[in-house]
Structure 1
Amino acid sequence: MEHSILKIFAIFDFMKKKDYFSYFVKEEYQTILDKLVFIRQEKGYTQYQVGEKLGLSDNAYSKLENGHIKLDVQRLLFILQIFDVNLSDFFKDFKEI
């Protein structure tokens, strides 16, 4: 019983860490960021231009693309609107997890 309780506390401690969710979806998250960079470059946008449309500095947008600032769903959707890419097209080549 005591061993089980210690395991549960260890799991909760792990879950409290900042990168809990990133641990489980690290590869998929990086793939999303890589695809955003690819699309941005393909569309001919600079980080400054995209950051400006998002209300971010080019430095902040660079941090977003590099994974230093977490990309939330609302921001992802707005970026896809900027790039004129719909959500289903963006994710069509992703593997099922």
Structure 2
Amino acid sequence: MPETIIRKVREQRNYTQEFVAKQMGISQNAYSKIENGYTQLTVRHIKDLSKILEVSIMELLRDDFEIHRPNNIQKESVNKENLLMSLDKISDKINSKHPQKHDFYPIVMSLLQTIDTTVDNIH
């Protein structure tokens, strides 16, 4: 996640949150929210951070995570009712979580959008 990379680079440079925030023209509290993922990064934030931290924009936006193939992929066919029940259970779990407190929330949402698009293309 970009927030994690931003924090790592800032710490490598021995910059405080206060220093970076001042350079960006925002409060330390506002900057802390960026690093903790409570404030969504804007293009302006990325440009400023790239300049302040002396790293490329691409370095700040790179993904350090991999999605691994699950070990227990079901190989037999699944009927529609079982699939819908499983999706309901997953939906309930997701809805019970606070999205800003989980790093993987955007990944889960992206996967669900991919599933939605795939289902739309099934005949």
Q: Distance in 1 between matches of 2:23 and 2:46?
A: 13
1:34 aligns with 2:4: yes
Q: Distance in 2 between matches of 1:92 and 1:59?
A: 25
Going from structure 1 to structure 2, the CA distance change for 1:72 and 1:34 (only over 3 Å counts) comes to same
**1:61 is matched with which residue: 4, 19, 31?**
31
The number of residue pairs the alignment matches comes to: 67
Runs (5+) with no aligned partner, structure 1:
1-30
Q: How does 1:1-97 map to 2 (within 5 A)?
A: 31-91=1-61, 94=64
Compute the displacement of 1:73 (Å).
1.4
Going from structure 1 to structure 2, the CA distance change for 1:91 and 1:55 (only over 3 Å counts) comes to closer
Deviations 1:8-43 (A, max 9, x none): xxxxxxxxxxxxxxxxxxxxxxx1110000000001
Deviations 1:55-89 (A, max 9, x none): 11111100111111111012111101101111244
Q: Distance in 2 between matches of 1:92 and 1:64?
A: 16
TM-score (norm 1): 0.59
Superposed CA RMSD: 2.2
Going from structure 1 to structure 2, the CA distance change for 1:53 and 1:65 (only over 3 Å counts) comes to same
Runs of 4+ in 1 over 2 A off after TM superposition: 87-96
TM-score (norm 2): 0.48
Higher helix share: 1
Structure 1: which amino acid aligns with 2:37? G
Runs (5+) with no aligned partner, structure 2:
67-123
Structure 2: which amino acid aligns with 1:78? D
Identity of aligned residues (%): 32
